[in-house]
Amino acid sequence: MERLSRKRRETIRPVLENPQDFVLLSARALGKRLGIDAATVVRIAQRIGFATYRDFQRYLHGISIARATSLDAMMASVPPNGGIIGLIRDSLDRDSANLNSLRHSIDLESLAALAGRFYKSSRILIFAGDLAATLAAYLEHQLTILSLPVVSATSWGRIMHFSRSASRKDLVIAISFRKGLRQTVEGLQQAHGRGAYCVGLTDTYVSPIAQSCDQVFLASIEAPPFGASYIAPMSVLNAMLVACANHRRSRTLSLLRAADREERHGSRWYQM
């Protein structure tokens, strides 16, 4: 923005502040909304660092996702003729679309290669908060079954304590979506600054999580009727676990054999 004149900054500011209102517009349509011609729109986009107007649109789409709230999702979901049943169907369709998008975009080779770091790391630190804490608890539980040195931190104080002691020997997994929860972002940044290898799970490249990681996996949480859908992020975690369990398959089988008797006859299970 500093590359633009004051007049041009004020011209483009409404677009950056409310990207969801402009992201689908062509350069000509955007120019008409702003009172300038299409060529000027393209020059402004290029001046602030985008090679093409299409790249600028992708950026607008990213920040639209990052800034979205539950209210935005609820307002965007208008009950169709089928009423609530129609909205339920839309929700299931969105979950399916999120999974399909993940299936075609995730880097499987990078995910498989990441498994080795789980075994080489002194500690596996999982940073998350609010609703994403459920994902952290799930991943911690499953990695504990694999007898890996994992601990999750889902409160500000706990994240800060672990991030201050992070080192190059640690693997950090930070989970946060949209704008990013402050405690997760700042903990990630501090751990990364101390040399820890950091992996992010988020939903857009413009997220501060993506910008502070050595490796990032994107999974959409879009859920038109209400809130957020964690179907795709959970699938990423399951893929990580499959990679980890099979990276040292004989070790995993040995651990599972040791747990097999308790799972079959342990007192914590209801006997049928």
Q: Are residues 27 and 112 in the same domain?
A: no
pLDDT for 206: 86
In a domain, 161, yes or no: yes
Is the Cα dihedral 66, 68, 69, 74 positive or negative? negative
Q: Are residues 129 and 229 in the same domain?
A: yes
With contact defined as beta carbons under 8 Å apart, do 48 and 13 qualify?
A: no
Q: Based on the structure, what is the number of domains in the chain? A: 2
CA dihedral 146, 147, 150, 152 (to 10 degrees): 70
In a domain, 76, yes or no: no
Q: Are residues 62 and 108 in the same domain?
A: no
Q: Are residues 117 and 40 in the same domain?
A: no
pLDDT for 81: 67
Q: Are residues 111 and 221 in the same domain?
A: yes
Q: Are residues 195 and 127 in the same domain?
A: yes
Q: Are residues 123 and 187 in the same domain?
A: yes
With contact defined as beta carbons under 8 Å apart, do 67 and 208 qualify?
A: no
In a domain, 89, yes or no: no
Q: Tell me the CATH number at 151.
A: 3.40.50.10490
Q: Are residues 183 and 238 in the same domain?
A: yes
How is 205-270 classified by DSSP, letter by letter?
TTSHHHHT-SEEEE-----TTSS---HHHHHHHHHHHHHHHHHTHHHHHHHHHHHHHHHHH-TTSP
pLDDT digits (tens, 9 = 90+) for 29-58: 988 998 899 999 899 999 888 899 998 888
Q: Are residues 119 and 190 in the same domain?
A: yes
pLDDT for 72: 67
Which residue range(s) make up the domain with 50? 6-67
In a domain, 51, yes or no: yes
pLDDT for 70: 66
Q: Are residues 241 and 186 in the same domain?
A: yes
In a domain, 206, yes or no: yes
Overall average pLDDT of the 182-187 stretch:
96
